[in-house]
Structure formats: C-alpha cells, structure tokens
Structure 1
C-alpha cells in the first residue's frame, strides 16, 4: 500500500518574529524601531499577511494527506520524501533555498505578500492552493535548470540561482581555472571569486556582473540546460592572468577550479552558512546538475 502524499509547507521566520525574539515584547520592538525612524505597524502587517497565507494553505491540504511544516533554518535537517508535494509560502528566494534539498518533488510557490515580491518563483496566491495541491503530482511543471559543484573528495552542492567559489571574506583568492569551451588550457588567477549561474539566477547576481562588464554572452533562460560564469575582479600579475573571465557551459561541460589558497568556500544561492570548505590543492568541478526543480504552474 503506497503512502498518501505529504504536503510540506516551507516558510521562514518573519521580521516581526525576529524582532520579538530579540526584544521580548511588541512594545520594546516598537521602541527600538521608532528610535531608528521606523514604525512597527508595517512590519507586523507583513507578518500577519504571511501567517494568514500559511494558515490558508494548511487548510487547503486534502484531508487524506499528511502534512508537515519546516522553517528555512531547519531545511538542512529535514528529510524530504519522494511522495512529498512541497509548498513554499513566502518569497522567491525561499524557493531557491529549498531547491537544493529536493530530488524531483513538485514545488508550488505561494506569494505570501503580493505586491512586494517579483513573483518569478512564487507565482500563486494562497487561495489557489486548494485547486493546485490535489493535481500537483501530475500537473505540468517547468523543469528549472540547477547548477552543481562536486569536489574531488565527492562533496556535492546544488543551487537554483548560482554557486559562488572564492574566499569567505570576498577578498582575494588564488586558484587555477580551466573550462572545456572554447579553450581548455588552465590559467592561474587571483580574483575575488567565481560565479556560475543558471537562467533563474540570470535575473539577479549573475545579471549584475553581466551588465557591469557589458558582456556579449547570451544569458540562459531558466529552462535552458546552460550556465553562464564570470570571474569577479581578476587581477593581472606576472603569475596570474585575466584572459579567462567569462563563458558559457552546456550540458556535460564543466568549469574546473583548483585551489591555491589556504581556504576557499563554495556556497549556493547566498546560503553562506551551508558552504563547502575547499583547501589547498583541492579541485572542484561546476556544471549543469542532473537534478532540476519541478515548479508547478
């Protein structure tokens, strides 16, 4: 007998809840904000809209289904199952946060505060959950390309937007960089890091680098099995070069980085707390992931 589907509601602690945890009471939090020229009512209003959206989605889960909730800070300790339907209630970035922990489960993005989010990944209102949930397993879903980094000791990191490789303090990293296209010759470099991103990430950090240097590269679309990569602030010297600073990776291609500093890190989608540690002489390959994010609707 197969298990009934489980709706996993993913959310994050609101700014209002963080203020209460820090200051103890509503009054103390209000005083803290007023001393900095801010009011608490907007913050509490966003909190209440988010909680209402979460409650509405929870009430829409079919009665025969199981249900679980997980806060963003606990994602790395939560075990997702193959029968799960993941419902992200919050902002676009929360979808990216959960994507790395999934293995093909359908994801429904619910905009908890319409008008404040771009709605690229949280495309639905809470009221739509009642119709979306029962059909989620068989509904048409976009297969959004993801990026992965794999180290020579088999550590693996997945991301929906981008992976950053570089020094944890964003200062200067030394490494040797090699790409498979168009020139596989490795180049020693010193820079503030390397960014490798997907078409979903091409609306954020990746695009800022692309625009800054007026790059002629064609950025990928979210479902394209391609990645774009950029080196940040490459420094020319007698021992380091600047000729390999951007490129595109197709399916099956990878960017190879060999560490020549005491410590570098690799993290995805801005989650620095969940980073791979890279040490001298270690090699990491970055390319298109086999796993894609299945985003409903």
Structure 2
C-alpha cells in the first residue's frame, strides 16, 4: 500500500510537471508542413444538415409538419428557423465556389470520397468536423463554421466569407498546416475508429455505475464512477473541459498539437471503504492506457460521441496516441 501511494505521488508529480511546461496554442508554433498546392477540383465539401433538416429526415415529416411538432412540444421555433436560414446561406455561399459534384452530403458519404480528396471542407460545427475527420487519413481538413451566431465553433477556423480568398491561397500553396493529435484504440484486439476529441468509456445508461480497472504508467486501480474520458488537446475544450471542473475550477484545456493525451474519472465514487486516487493523468506518444471492463450492464466505448462499441464485462480496451495526426489548415 505504501509503495502504491509512493508510485501514485510520483505519477501525479510527473503529470503536474508536464502540465506546467505545456504552453497554450497562442504561444506555440504549430507543427508545420511544407504545404502542397490544392486545386479547386481536388476539394470536397461535406455540409451538415440543419436541425430542421435532421428532424425532417429522422421523423419523416415535411417542413411544416416539423414546425407544428415544435409547437406541440412547446419548443420556440424562431432561433431554430433563424439558424436554419443562416446555415442555408453559408451552404449556398460555399457550394457556389465549387462544382456540384464536389458536394457530398453527410448521409451519402462514402469513406473513399474523403480519402481521395486532397482537402475536405467540413461545413458545420465542431461535432460535424469530428464526424468527418474519422474518415480522413491523408488530405487537409478545413473547418468552416456554418452558423457563427449560434455555434461557438472551437474547432472551426473559418467562416463562409473566408473561402474565396482561402481557395486562392490553397491553389498557390500559401497556407499553414497544424498537426492535431488523434487517439487510436482497440477493444479485445479489434481496432476502433480514431478519436479527434475523446474516447468515453462507461455505461450506456447514465443511471448505472461504471466499473473498470485502469492501468497506466505501471499503476493500476479499480474504479467506480460515471465513466472515463480520454482526451486530446482538440477535445480538451469540450466535454472534458466541463467534466474536469471538480478538479480544475477554470477547466483544463491544452494544445491541439501536443503529442499528449489526458484521462479523467468523471463523478468518482468516494466512500469510506473504497475510493479512487487516480482521478486524472496523462500519457505520451508510445505509452498506453489500458482499461479492463467490470461493467455489469451495457458497457460502451464511444469515439467522439459518433461511433459506439460494446464494452462488456471482461473486455479490455487499449488507447494510444495515433501516428495519423489530422492535418488541419490553420491559416
């Protein structure tokens, strides 16, 4: 027990030291590449659907029927309608710059369409960019916020009005690329989707307690909690940032280009007979985080809240920093 406490103290000290030497993005030059020129016909646009369009598809309703549904559910339709109009305007502005064949709708997207493009424009918000990014191996990601008035767009660098000038700079090779760290994982030896933001490990139902054994840097601990988050710098301003407030009052964001991952135990059980000590930590490229599932109900692992995998009792997940960073057009 004394040895475990000593190892844990050393691990916490190491993570504290790591945090103190990691400067914010504004003070660090991005990991740069010599950019390759990108012609207009080498670009694919993937627009997101608006909320109204999603509801029309998901509920199989017409536009007017969706609005009546909102009224029946006591939902104020005006902010949704205004956002719908702004997103349609952004879509029209961006789509008018390229040939219609270069527009690939999210519901019709095939991975080879993304992998065959030299650059991909994700027109939407942060979650949409993450969804598109999971298909990307090569090529440049361009994040365009389709509704800056309503979407914070922490990961989307550009707006629709920026695209004409950006396309000229892409064609001339006059732009910068930043390597955003991604995570890779496997469950019982089978690979799962890359995560640009985070992996979540826990139970499907929030009402059920998640149980697992976590192993990292020679330490091992059985934990009871609401789940485990493993994040990159790109994910550290989202879910992880909110969940970490019980340990860090101002959140705990870090650089998207840092070759580092952090993990966080959410809502840990702290009782008289059992409690968690390994509430947070980090690991570098070449290191591995291992989670053994003890879930009694329906355990899952999710990648960026897009892909979902069964993680039942006895399963083992392994998470590492991927060698395939996402190449993001940063300016």
Aligned equivalent of 2:70, options 17, 33, 36:
33
CA contact (8 A) 1:188 1:240 kept: no
CA contact (8 A) 1:199 1:220 kept: yes
Residue of structure 1 equivalent to 2:16: none
Aligned equivalent of 2:314, options 249, 274, 281:
281
Structure 2 gap ranges (5+): 1-38
Task: Normalising by structure 1, report the TM-score.
Answer: 0.84
Residue of structure 1 equivalent to 2:189: 153
Deviates more, 1:224-233 or 1:123-132: 123-132
The alignment partner of 1:148 has SS state of strand
CA contact (8 A) 1:175 1:257 kept: yes
The alignment partner of 1:104 has SS state of coil
Aligned equivalent of 1:67, options 70, 81, 102:
102
Does residue 212 of structure 1 match 2:246? yes
Number of aligned pairs? 286
Alignment of 1:76-95 (within 5 A): 77-79=110-112, 80-95=114-129
1:292 Cα deviation from its structure 2 partner: 1.5
User: Cα distance 1:216–1:251, how it changes in 2: closer, same or farther (>3 A)?
Assistant: farther
1:206 Cα deviation from its structure 2 partner: 0.8
Alignment of 1:113-124 (within 5 A): 113-124=147-158
Residue of structure 2 equivalent to 1:242: 276
CA contact (8 A) 1:29 1:40 kept: no
CA contact (8 A) 1:178 1:185 kept: yes
User: Cα distance 1:238–1:260, how it changes in 2: closer, same or farther (>3 A)?
Assistant: farther
What is the alpha-carbon distance in structure 2 between the residues aligned to residue 86 and residue 108 of structure 1? 6
Residue of structure 2 equivalent to 1:6: 42
Task: Normalising by structure 2, report the TM-score.
Answer: 0.76
1:209 Cα deviation from its structure 2 partner: 2.3
Structure 1 gap ranges (5+): none
What is the alpha-carbon distance in structure 2 between the residues aligned to residue 264 and residue 24 of structure 1? 34
CA contact (8 A) 2:154 2:237 kept: no
**RMSD between aligned alpha carbons?**
2.9
- Over residues 151-177 of structure 1, what are the superposed CA-to-partner deviations in whole Å (9 max), with x where a residue is unaligned? 332322311111101111132222211
What is the alpha-carbon distance in structure 2 between the residues aligned to residue 115 and residue 153 of structure 1? 43
- Over residues 124-177 of structure 1, what are the superposed CA-to-partner deviations in whole Å (9 max), with x where a residue is unaligned? 221322332354484311211112222332322311111101111132222211
In terms of fraction of residues, the more strand-rich structure is 1
